[in-house]
Amino acid sequence: MNLLVLYLLLLKAMLLSFSGLSSLPVIEADFVEKHHLITERQLNTAVAAGRSGPGPLGLYVVSVGYMAAGIPGAVAGYIAMISPAFLILPILRFLANRAGNPRIRGAIRALLLSAAGLLISSALPIGRATLTDGVTVAVAAVSFVVLAFTRVETLAVVAGSAVVGLAAALLRG
């Protein structure tokens, strides 16, 4: 498949979505149903691969590109994934000149508190799926205390949690 067309198809899906997997229906329609570039099973594998590693959920787009056209397809998928991110820059430039306005300050302060609510909402499904035993609950609690009240590097907390998870798995056999 032509890499430019592949890029444009993936870019279209990204531009029509506002969060990680919300581009999935568009990709399924274009890649599986309309153009038959990949199978449904391949799409599921791409989603699983994208979600299993670190980084954004939208990474599955790179896997879709790889499924459709190999390494060049993965590169096209990667560029399609990152391209829309730069749309934020003109909006920022516009707002930066109006930051002193009391109404805008009030709105931003409100958005800060609303963001906290959205974070709790995002944490709930991860917590339900992950905090299934004493070890994971303890890891979450210790991570909270360390991250909220100390200046320990986040990477150290992530690495320590991985070691605890691995140790728990090995002890259980």
Q: Quote the least distance from Cβ 40 to other proteins, whole Å.
A: 14
Segment near other proteins (CB under 8 A); pick from 1-9, 25-33, 121-129: 121-129
DSSP string, 63-111: HHHHHHHHHHHHHHHHHHHHGGGGGHHHHHHHHHTTTT-HHHHHHHHHH
26 touches other proteins (CB under 8 A): no
151 touches other proteins (CB under 8 A): yes
154 touches other proteins (CB under 8 A): yes
Instruction: Estimate the share of the chain in helix, then strand, then coil, as percent rounded to the nearest 5.
Output: 80, 0, 20
Complex with other proteins: residue 6 or 62, whichever CB lies closer: 62
Binders in 60-119 for other proteins, by CB under 8 A: 60, 62-63, 66-67, 71, 74, 78, 81-89, 91-92, 95-96, 99-100, 102-119
Q: Quote the least distance from Cβ 65 to other proteins, whole Å.
A: 9
- 173 vs 169: CA distance, rounded Å: 6
Q: Quick one: which of 6, 9, 14, 69 contacts other proteins (CB under 8 A)?
A: 14
- 31 vs 19: CA distance, rounded Å: 19
- 113 vs 172: CA distance, rounded Å: 41
